[in-house]
Amino acid sequence: MRFIHAADIHLDSPLTGLSAYADAPVDTLRTATRDAFTNLVSLAIDERVDFMVIAGDLYDGNWKDYNTGLYFVKEMSRLDRASIPVYLLHGNHDAESEMTRKLLLPKNVSVFDSRKPSSFRLDSLGVVLHGRSFKNAATLENLAATYPDAVPGLVNIGVLHTALEGNAMHASYAPCSLAELHAKGYDYWALGHVHEYAMWRGDSVIVFPGNLQGRHIRETGPRGAVLVECSAAGEMEVQRVYVDVLRWHRLHVDVAGCSNLEEVARAIGRELESLLDAVADTIPLAVRVIVSGRTAAHGELFGMETQLRQEVLASIAALGNDKLWLEKVRLDTLAIDDGQALRERADALADLQDVLASAQDDPVFLEALRADLSGILGKAPLELRSSVPYFDDIKSGDLTTLLREIRPSLVAHLAKGD
């Protein structure tokens, strides 16, 4: 007996992080969640699985129009023609309280009730599936505690949308514990809600398949579902299957040995080339470059994210790879020393360093600076707000980080005139 377990598909959810840029792969971003789901349906047909389980958050909330629902009906009809039934559970994003539009689904789709747990028996396979959909998005009760006892002699599969012991990255809906799930006596728990893959083995096999398609830089790496095979002896083999159409990646570049922006740009170019050599997949990559290290270039890099991004785009163009897109360049460098060398110079630059250092603790200066900077916040164009990371600090009135970062930059630029 073989089945596919998927969750957190979020059909038509927008991918974020690239669309603000003119060079973004707009068409890929717009259809990514659908394309990933189409890949999953094709995989299910090719593998001739016995059924598919969707453990919540098929949708991303109410549809903008009926096209989202029509697309899903079409894909389910493909599975129907292949005689593959689908067992669908509603999570917080597609709870009854979130959805105002509905369409009749093909006969091969069975939906778990939201008022109480329901069970679907597949006697020809010796399987029974238990589950309970969300009625309200903010479902905080322990739904697993209401599930029925395991049916003797059958493979029992629990389908549940849950934060599982309060996963910190996700809202703690339908919380329960691993021990509680193991104690239920089910053979397999098909979970959803947490977007990262995880599996636990014990009295039960408990699996989060992760979401089907990464939607932003916080969801890096391969994404997909799991293909589960149950042997005649009841042993569960779980295999990850990847169906995503665009993959997010963080590229950390240490520029400790660089002394200026040009050297930093060249170092990033080398790391991008190494990344492409290491990645055998042909799937497109959306990359965030994180520049770090204690470096002599720290001062010159201050506020230069936009310029550095253009340099990195030039490196990508030189590589001639149309499967690599740059999401963002983030600067996270440190000054190579604490300014002691400048203080020992006993000249104007040393005096400037001392003035800037004392300004961080001067309440009168800080208030005057905050007032001046606040005046330009509302006039700044959107592009500037997104490229300068200190706007939120200025808005909150916390200028400590800004002053600490600008000090080596200002001194570095003035020192060029020595």
Residue-wise pLDDT tens digits, 54-73? 999 999 988 888 999 999 99
- The pTM of this model reads 0.82
Q: What b/e sequence results for 28-64 when a residue is b if at least 16 CB atoms lie within 10 Å of its CB, and e otherwise?
A: bbeebbbbbbbbbbebbeeeebbbbbbbbbbbbbebe
When comparing pLDDT for 260 and 405, which is higher? 260
Residue with tokens 């990646």: 249
Measure the CA angle with vertex 223, ends 120 and 99; round to 5°: 50
> 378-394, pLDDT tens digit by residue?
666 655 555 556 666 66
User: CA angle at residue 397 from 391 to 402, to 5 degrees?
Assistant: 55
Q: Is the pLDDT of residue 418 over 50?
A: no
Selection from 118, 200, 198, 109 nearest residue 158 by Cα: 118
Using CB atoms within 10 A of its CB, is residue 151 exposed (0-12), middle (13-18) or buried (19+)?
middle
Ordered by where they begin, the domains of the chain are 2-242 (3.60.21.10), 246-336 (no CATH), 340-418 (no CATH)
* Phi, psi for residue 397 in degrees, rounded to 5: 90, 5
Q: What's residue 96's pLDDT?
A: 85
How far, CA to CA in Å, does 224 sit from each of 141, 209, 241? 28, 7, 6
Q: Is the pLDDT of residue 415 over 60?
A: no
> 8-38, pLDDT tens digit by residue?
999 998 877 666 666 677 777 889 999 999 9
pLDDT grade for 138, boundaries at 50, 70 and 90 = confident
Q: Beta 224-230 vs 236-242: how paired, if at all?
A: antiparallel
Distance between CA 386 and CA 251 in Å, rounded? 20
Q: Could you give the CA distance from residue 289 to residue 383 in angstroms, rounded to a whole number?
A: 19
- At 34 the pLDDT is 95
